[in-house]
């Protein structure tokens, strides 16, 4: 037997490898891609691209859609987006997320057994899902249990940090410590996602 490797374009994802027989017709490496539109006129639907030639197995679009495109039966990975709110008068933080309520339930129902990202780059200030560790831990706790209650087979991944540098790994440690302090247990995680940008860091 040989292990099927799980490879990704633009991000790293820690996951337990699956095992397949050598004569398995499936590709030996499974790739995923992301599709994101930041410029006017860009095509936002992955079915508009020739994904069959890439042999990819999954994709994200930085949203959580109830009716995602699945060309060539590729998997769709929903992402719940997070937002932090700060009340200057009381010096307290809160959070919100999208989708929520029935809209989120519709996505869960439409994507049974899916892998989920909770947020994107919560360690990145001012852009993406910037959150202090305490708020990320609280938001993750709520969404993990909400999604798992509706779909026990769902797999929940912590939102990707920008890159695995010392300062950002310290941010992850603070999330884990805060989760333990707030909820009296270790943070339950089905997998970790880490972006692998090569950027200069300043503490």
Structure confidence by residue, pLDDT tens digits, 159-184: 999 999 899 999 999 999 999 999 99
Q: List the one residue out of 155, 151, 163, 160 whose CA is nearest residue 190.
A: 155
Residue 144's CATH number: 3.20.20
Q: Answer whether residue 203 is part of any domain.
A: no
Residue 200 CB contacts under 8 Å (≥ 6 apart), including other chains: none
95-150 pLDDT, tens per residue?
A: 999 999 999 999 999 999 999 999 999 998 888 999 999 999 999 999 999 999 99
Length of the chain: 203
Q: Answer whether residue 70 is part of any domain.
A: yes
Does the pLDDT of residue 3 top 80, yes or no? no
Q: Answer whether residue 147 is part of any domain.
A: yes
Report how far residue 104's alpha carbon sits from residue 172's, in angstroms, rounded to the nearest whole number. Answer: 26
Q: List the one residue out of 165, 115, 167, 158 whose CA is nearest residue 140.
A: 158
Q: Answer whether residue 107 is part of any domain.
A: yes
Global pTM value: 0.82
pLDDT at 19: 40
20-47 pLDDT, tens per residue?
A: 434 444 443 478 888 886 666 666 789 8
Please, are residues 133 and 84 in contact by the beta-carbon 8 Å criterion? no
Q: Answer whether residue 18 is part of any domain.
A: yes
Number of domains composing the chain: 1
Structure tokens of 40? 């006017």
Q: Which domain holds residue 106?
A: 2-195
- Which helix (H) or strand (E) segment is 168 a member of? helix 166-183
């Amino acid at each position: 037997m040989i292990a099927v490797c799980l490879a990704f374009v633009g991000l790293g994802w820690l996951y337990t490898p699956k095992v397949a027989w050598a004569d398995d017709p499936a590709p030996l490496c499974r790739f995923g891609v992301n599709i994101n539109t930041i410029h006017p006129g860009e095509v936002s639907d992955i079915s508009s691209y020739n994904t069959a030639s890439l042999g990819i197995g999954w994709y994200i679009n930085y949203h959580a859609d109830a009716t995602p495109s699945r060309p060539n039966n590729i998997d769709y990975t929903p992402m719940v987006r997070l937002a932090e709110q700060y009340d200057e008068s009381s010096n307290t933080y809160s959070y919100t997320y999208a989708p929520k309520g029935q809209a989120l339930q519709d996505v869960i129902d439409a994507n049974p057994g899916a892998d989920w990202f909770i947020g994107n780059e919560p360690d990145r200030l001012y852009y993406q899902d910037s959150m202090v560790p305490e708020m990320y831990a609280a938001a993750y706790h709520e969404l993990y249990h909400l999604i798992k209650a509706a779909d026990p087979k769902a797999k929940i991944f912590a939102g990707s940090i920008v890159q695995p540098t010392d300062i950002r790994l310290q941010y992850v440690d603070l999330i884990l410590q805060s989760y333990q302090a707030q909820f009296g247990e270790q943070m339950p995680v089905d997998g970790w996602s880490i972006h692998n940008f090569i950027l200069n860091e300043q503490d």
